[in-house]
Structure 1
Amino acid sequence: MQNRLIYGKNPVAEALVANHLIEVFAMTSNDKTAKELLHKIRMAKIPLQMVDRHILGNMAQTGQHQGFVAYAEPLQNASLNRICSDKPKGVRVLLLSNIQDPGNLGAVIRNCEHFGIDLLVIGSKGSCDWQLPSVSKASAGAVEHQKIVYTSRPEKVMEELKEKGFSIYGLEADVRDCVTSIKAGADANLCMVLGSEGEGISLAVESRVDQLLSIPRNGLVNSLNVSAASVVASMWLRGLI
């Protein structure tokens, strides 16, 4: 598997914390945060090349690099068995189906890491690549820390979850049962499934969901962006709503 390209201060900083950095390219800056990051990179003895903005833009293929581009180790799939072994009760899993937009995927990863979701499962069919630099940027570097399984067979993962005693719910617009009508038990092993606004949850995945739930609404628009929905899902999984 090839090394990843990442860009931006937060992605590079978090890759450094996670010991994923291989080589960094940066430009001289008077910004305090940039100076501190450069110092940490040098202290960690990560190979560092100082280049100009034009080179960074060509490498990142965007002007949103904030003065930092780097190569990092490829992300590795987490182990469901290990997670459940380390934490037999109260495991929280979020599963994504048909998430094509890198910005949305990165934002969901960031939300999951923020709320302490134990595992994020991403169905690769109909979804963007989780190793993309734009996903890392949108996640603010959270992809370096969040445990993720990226798989072409999310249905198989769901079957494994059920074998381990998980209850699996899915969020869908305009379903009668509301997410606030069910409380997430502290010791229960739970999984919540989200789909995209356009495609929704794939039929193969939806057929394995135990119960579909909706997010209550008072307005006219009948759906939320998947990033916003993932906040609700994560808060529900954590027993916060």
Structure 2
Amino acid sequence: MKPISRNHQKRRFTAGSAHDPSAPVWLWGQHAVEAALANPDREILRQVATANAARRTGLKDVEIIDGKALDHLLPPGAVHQGLAVRARPLEEVSLDDVLAGPDAPTRICVLDQISDPHNLGAIFRSAAAFGIGGLVLQTRHTPPVTGVAAKSAAGAIETVAEIRVVNIARAIDQLGEAGFHTIGLAGEGRETIEAAIHGAQKVAFVMGAEGSGLRPAVAKACATLARIPMVPGMESLNVSNAAAIAFYQALQDKEGA
């Protein structure tokens, strides 16, 4: 499904952007900070809070600073709610390890070059809400999961596996070989999302980039293309909204089985 862009060109992540995947990142906002602190796999390097935020949340052993000092630590416009932590990124998870694990998920989502970190965070949040066990992201062409995405995810980046792969089409093939019904969301899909999901024991959704949708090679790798029914006059949804609907439908189908 080709989603409506949300000024994504202003925030577009480019393949040439220099980013060290092992470099520490700032996470901010109450839900994101509390989830990071509660995650035993997250290495916290620094905790900062305003006095009011520390009292409100009951967090201990934090460095108390004033709001202006906290503003200067974070990117412009960060809505931090008086809380932030500097932490090391979580260790990368491979698709092989996820599929071979003792608690291998039966619901996965593949994101084909999603470029808006707000959308990425919102998809993480919906994945956590509706039981999606992991998000497959391309190593390049997809933004790192840093503060903006973490704030939008409201803590979900700590619980939903982030799986990085080099080649999205190859990852879809691998999921198909592992028994997943791979469903690409596209406006031209002949099936509805409900019909495409129905009865499948394992489902992998494939979501296209903002504006351009699924790339042809990625669409071809999917077992089927499905659409979300909409009233006439509306041909697309924002990718994070489309993901939430698909994830909800998968949960309904699973519970109704």
Query: Could you tell me the TM-score, scaled by structure 2's length?
Result: 0.81
> Is 2:180–2:203's contact at 8 Å kept on the other side of the alignment?
yes
Distance 1:155 1:75 in 2: 25
CA contact (8 A) 2:188 2:225 kept: no
1:58 aligns with 2:58: no
In the alignment, which residue of structure 1 is the partner of 2:102? 86
* Alignment check: 8 A CA contact 1:12 1:70 kept: yes
Question: Could you tell me which amino acid in structure 1 is paired with residue 55 of structure 2?
Answer: K
Moved more, 174-183 or 161-170: 174-183
**8 Å contact from structure 1 (residues 197, 223) kept in 2:** no
**1:2 counterpart = 2:17:** no
Q: Does 1:95 align with 2:110?
A: yes
Q: Which residue of 1 aligns with 2:35?
A: 14
Unaligned runs of 5+ in 1: 43-47
Q: Write out per-residue CA displacement over residues 45-100 of structure 1, whole angstroms, 9 at most, x where no aligned residue.
A: xxx21111111111112341111121112122224344334246x71111111211
- Give, as a single letter, the amino acid of the residue that structure 2 aligns with 1:114: A
How do 1:30-49 and structure 2 match up within 5 A?
Answer: 34-37=54-57, 39-42=58-61, 48-49=62-63
* Secondary structure, aligned partner of 2:90: coil
Q: 1:104 to 1:127 in 2, by over 3 A?
A: same
Match of 1:158 in 2: 172
Greater shift, 172-181 or 79-88, is seen at 79-88
Describe the SS at the equivalent of 2:121.
helix
The answer on 1:26 being equivalent to 2:46 is no
Matched, 1:72 2:87: yes
State whether residues 197 and 203 of structure 2, in contact with CA within 8 Å, keep that contact through their aligned partners in structure 1. Answer: no
Q: 2:236 aligns with which of 212, 223, 237?
A: 223
What secondary structure, in the 3-state scheme, does the structure 2 residue paired with 1:122 have? strand
1:126 matched to 2:133? The reply is no
Query: Do the aligned residues in 1 keep the contact of 2:120 with 2:149 (CA within 8 Å)?
Result: yes
Higher relative contact order (Cα pairs below 8 Å, separated by 6+ residues) = 2
**Contact 1:110–1:142, Cα closer than 8 Å, also in 2:** yes
Match of 2:160 in 1: 146
When the two chains are superposed, the root-mean-square deviation of aligned CA atoms in Å is 2.1
How many residues in Structure 1 have an aligned counterpart in Structure 2?
229
Q: Which residue of 2 aligns with 1:169?
A: 183
Gaps of 5+ in 2: 1-21
Q: Deviations over 1:137-163 (max 9, x none)?
A: 110121111111023322232222122
1:78 to 1:185, Cα distance in 2 relative to 1, 3 A: farther
- Alpha-carbon spacing, 1:198–1:40, altered in 2? closer, same or farther (3 Å): same
2:128, 2:159 within 8 Å by CA — same for their partners in 1?
A: yes
| Match in the other structure for 1:204 | 217
Mapped partners of 1:166, 1:219: distance in 2? 32
CA gap 1:212/1:107 in 2 versus in 1, 3 angstroms: same
Per-residue Cα deviation, 1:172-216 (whole angstroms, up to 9, x for no partner) = 013222112234336x22211011340211223222111000000
Does residue 106 in structure 1 map to residue 121 in structure 2? yes
Distance 1:169 1:183, change over 3 A: closer
Q: State the TM-score, normalized to the length of structure 1.
A: 0.86
Match of 1:191 in 2: 204
* Percent identity of equivalent pairs: 27
